[in-house]
Amino acid sequence: MKVFINKRIPNIGLEILNQENLEIIFPENEIQSQKEWLEYCKKADVILNVGKNKFDREFFENCPNVKAISLFSVGFDNVDIQEATRRKIPVGNTPEVLSRATSDVAFLLMQMVSRKASYNIDKVKSGNWKDFDALEQLGQELYGKTLGIFGLGRIGFEMAEKCKKAFDMKIIYHNRSQNTEAEKKLDAEYVSFEELIEKSDVISIHANFTENHSELFNQSVFEKMKENAIFINTARGGFQNEKDLFEALNSGQIWGAGLDVTNPEPMDYKNPLLELPNVCVLPHIGSATIEARNGMAKLAAENVVAFINGEKMPTCANPEVYEKVE
């Protein structure tokens, strides 16, 4: 069976795959055009995919030999899940192993924005560290503030737990359904989306992205948020309308923003958001720790091995493919 891996992954994943009777295909160049990537996919039975290549209906029509996909990510918004399920193609992903690392970045961004760290780092590096000024670009403290979680799953829970322990923050959240276990552990309160955006001092996005969420956080939402509100997104850049976010920040409608994901990615280095003192942007490094990436490689490889051995993938985004048709 042929497995195509489009980019390098940690050795722990390769060691697992090499124990099986597999033909592993690597590209000549890690940076491939869409056409080149597609040609490799056409030759494979299974794809272990790193990055945001699109698996849409056109892909499946062009690659009829592909029998399974293992994603090196927790998100699967780049896959037409309905089409994959219709074709009985399991799609593996890598949840849980990156929850702590990603929540660490959300927690980091919240603090960097609250103390205008990016502005002050640039101040030192550019030689503009002058005499003490008691009123220059003051930050705000987070103690006792209200944290609003949009999507209280694994990562959202980790973020909420950190904020509660470190800053005694009150936790409110909005999900498609209530998370009663988290409510008990965090003393969290389930609220409507309207309440979330109106009551939160910090809003942190941790939901799975779907087309219905496209630019959900736009002018109509930002104008309802508190003036001291901090907007944090470590999920997917598609959640935010960045022109509206810039206007909200530049006008003082909201207080600050911390982004590990942008719309689109990578962000243009001339993006005006980068000029604002109340913004911190990171290049999608939520899972960028040795431990998280090793865990992702291990799980992605185990999903491949499970498939080739006729077993269910340990973590599958479309488990319906395993349901028997009566």
**Which residue segments constitute the domains of the chain, with CATH numbers given?**
2-97+290-322 (3.40.50.720), 99-281 (3.40.50.720)
The alpha carbon of 151 is separated from its chain's Cα centroid by a whole number of angstroms, namely 12
pLDDT at 195 over 80: yes
For the segment 104-115, what is each residue's pLDDT rounded down to a tens digit? Answer: 999 999 999 999
CA angle centred on 252, ends 278 and 116, rounded to 5°: 15
CB atoms under 10 Å from CB of 82, counted, come to: 11
- Across residues 293-304, what is the average pLDDT? 98
> How much is the mean pLDDT over the chain?
97
Question: Contact 113/141 with Cβ under 8 angstroms?
Answer: no
Cβ neighbours for 243, distance < 8 A, ≥ 6 positions apart: none
Per-residue pLDDT band for 30 (boundaries 50, 70, 90) equals confident
Give percent of the chain above pLDDT 90: 98
Q: CA-CA distance, 159 to 190, in Å (whole number)?
A: 16
CA angle centred on 198, ends 195 and 201, rounded to 5°: 115
Q: CA-CA distance, 123 to 116, in Å (whole number)?
A: 11
- Across residues 174-196, what is the average pLDDT? 97
| DSSP H or E run through 71 | strand 68-71
Catalytic residue among 236, 242, 293, 302: 236
Per-residue pLDDT band for 325 (boundaries 50, 70, 90) equals low
For the segment 19-29, what is each residue's pLDDT rounded down to a tens digit? Answer: 999 999 999 98
Catalytic residue among 96, 265, 275, 291: 265
For the segment 243-257, what is each residue's pLDDT rounded down to a tens digit? Answer: 999 999 999 999 999
Give percent of the chain above pLDDT 70: 99
Per-residue pLDDT band for 326 (boundaries 50, 70, 90) equals very low
Per-residue pLDDT band for 324 (boundaries 50, 70, 90) equals confident
Asked about 115 being catalytic, the answer comes back as no
Asked about 236 being catalytic, the answer comes back as yes
Print burial letters for 51-67: b (CB count within 10 Å at least 16), e (below 16): eebebeeebbeebeebb
Q: CA-CA distance, 151 to 142, in Å (whole number)?
A: 21
Per-residue pLDDT band for 303 (boundaries 50, 70, 90) equals very high
Residue 260 has what pLDDT?
Answer: 98
Catalytic residue among 213, 284, 293, 302: 284
For the segment 124-137, what is each residue's pLDDT rounded down to a tens digit? Answer: 999 999 999 999 99
Asked about 206 being catalytic, the answer comes back as no
Per DSSP, helices labelled H in the chain are 11-18, 34-42, 57-62, 81-86, 99-114, 117-125, 154-167, 180-186, 193-199, 219-222, 242-250, 290-308
Token pair 């008691």: residue:
134
